[in-house]
Structure 1
Amino acid sequence: MTERVCLGAIAGAFGVRGEVRLKSFTATPEDIAAYGPLSTEDGARRVEVTLTGQTKGALTARLSGVPTREAAEALRGTRLYVPRDVLPDLPEDEFYHADLVGLEVFDTGGAPLGRVRAVHDHGAGDLLEIHAPGLRQTALLPFTRAAVPTVDLAAGRIVADPPPGIFPED
């Protein structure tokens, strides 16, 4: 598990007074402003976030220390992080996406299937993007109890029972 978790990213400037378009990665997008100051990936800069509204696909926000459109535009693509210890503890059967990325995936017989590259949520439920040597493309595994019966963060592994067709048959 990482010491910091990415909560969002700056998508660009909004307006002419230093506001930004902010993509939130929190379950409730507006919660990004509730975690206190956020820091850049390198930790060199900390900003307070004040939400000002919404725009298509993003929130609009004012960041402390960003007074102009040019300063806001210069931050485009910057990811914003929070220390892990300020995040709430989750129930036993829930996980932060950041904790799943990088875990090794095995089938129920113990054969390796690959490693979690990303977690995607397209509205119908989470999908684990799994990369394995020898696969031409990544596999998308539904993150359901049926397809993923075991997640063991301490051991750094997932046990999967993938539906037919997810992984090529040998």
Structure 2
Amino acid sequence: MRKEDCFYLGKIVSRHGYKGDLLAKLDTDQPGEYENLESVFISLGNTLVPFFIRQSRLHKSELLRLSFEEVSGEDAATKLIGAELYLPLTQLPELSGNQFYYHEVIGFSLIDRQHGHVGEIKGVNDQSSQVLFIAEKDGKELLIPVSDPFLERVDRKAREIHINTPDGLIDLFLNP
């Protein structure tokens, strides 16, 4: 399985107990949706390796406690701390309306109500307190907040996201 065919589910953050159980921090608002998985792919080096789940359950509502068939004991579990978890894109629940996955909108056009086409989405920065679209137009980079008040419509068929940004925001990037 290639990473391009998968989505990032989360990261193993610590051991739990001495039998080899692990705790994973999932990159989702709904960790309970992933409580009954049969398997996950774990990134080891540059390879995704399938691991089969013996048992999983929510731990303190935001972590997923995992018991893998292939892992027994503290030493084996310790080697997986920090490893990233992936699932095939086919396992993502389908979204509709103005909901979208960040990876899904890469390559979409940003259409502002006042300025029209303001760029193509090259990425999404979700590492800061405010999630941002990273768009590019005519060699210039634009950083547009991913915010419900700005988001008007997602048109999957046309591959467009229609936004209504505050006065002056687009000009900061295109007309410095």
TM-score of the superposition, structure 1-length normalised? Answer: 0.71
| Letter paired with 1:9 | K
Q: CA deviation at 1:78?
A: 1.7
| Residue number among 67, 71, 76 corresponding to 1:66 in the alignment | 71
Could you give the per-residue CA deviations for residues 30-64 of structure 1, whole angstroms, max 9, x where no partner exists?
A: 22233431112433233326225525953322222
For residues 117 and 62 of structure 2, the distance between their equivalents in structure 1, rounded to whole angstroms, comes to 41
| Letter paired with 1:115 | K
- 1:37-48 maps to which residues of 2 (within 5 A)? 37-41=39-43, 42-48=47-53
Aligned-partner SS, 1:99: helix
Q: Evaluate the alpha carbon distance shift between residue 68 and residue 159 of structure 1 in structure 2; reply closer, same or farther with a 3 A threshold.
A: same
Q: CA deviation at 1:71?
A: 1.5
Q: Evaluate the alpha carbon distance shift between residue 31 and residue 56 of structure 1 in structure 2; reply closer, same or farther with a 3 A threshold.
A: closer
Q: Evaluate the alpha carbon distance shift between residue 114 and residue 98 of structure 1 in structure 2; reply closer, same or farther with a 3 A threshold.
A: closer
Aligned identity (percent) is: 20
Aligned length: 163
Q: Evaluate the alpha carbon distance shift between residue 54 and residue 134 of structure 1 in structure 2; reply closer, same or farther with a 3 A threshold.
A: same
For residues 95 and 49 of structure 1, the distance between their equivalents in structure 2, rounded to whole angstroms, comes to 31
Aligned-partner SS, 2:49: coil
> In the alignment, which residue of structure 2 is the partner of 1:25?
27
Q: CA deviation at 1:7?
A: 1.9
Gaps of at least 5 residues in structure 1 are none
* Contact 2:37–2:53 under 8 Å retained in 1: no
For residues 6 and 21 of structure 2, the distance between their equivalents in structure 1, rounded to whole angstroms, comes to 25
Could you give the per-residue CA deviations for residues 86-124 of structure 1, whole angstroms, max 9, x where no partner exists?
A: 3333334322233135645343421327533234797xx
Is 1:128 aligned with 2:132?
A: yes
Structure with the largest fraction of strand: 2
Q: Evaluate the alpha carbon distance shift between residue 156 and residue 75 of structure 1 in structure 2; reply closer, same or farther with a 3 A threshold.
A: farther
Q: Evaluate the alpha carbon distance shift between residue 51 and residue 160 of structure 1 in structure 2; reply closer, same or farther with a 3 A threshold.
A: same
| Letter paired with 2:33 | D
Find the structure with the greater CA-based Rg.
2
> In the alignment, which residue of structure 2 is the partner of 1:8?
10
Deviates more, 1:84-93 or 1:100-109: 100-109
> In the alignment, which residue of structure 2 is the partner of 1:143?
147
Q: Evaluate the alpha carbon distance shift between residue 94 and residue 105 of structure 1 in structure 2; reply closer, same or farther with a 3 A threshold.
A: same
For residues 58 and 51 of structure 2, the distance between their equivalents in structure 1, rounded to whole angstroms, comes to 21
For residues 63 and 18 of structure 1, the distance between their equivalents in structure 2, rounded to whole angstroms, comes to 8
Gaps of at least 5 residues in structure 2 are none
TM-score of the superposition, structure 2-length normalised? Answer: 0.69
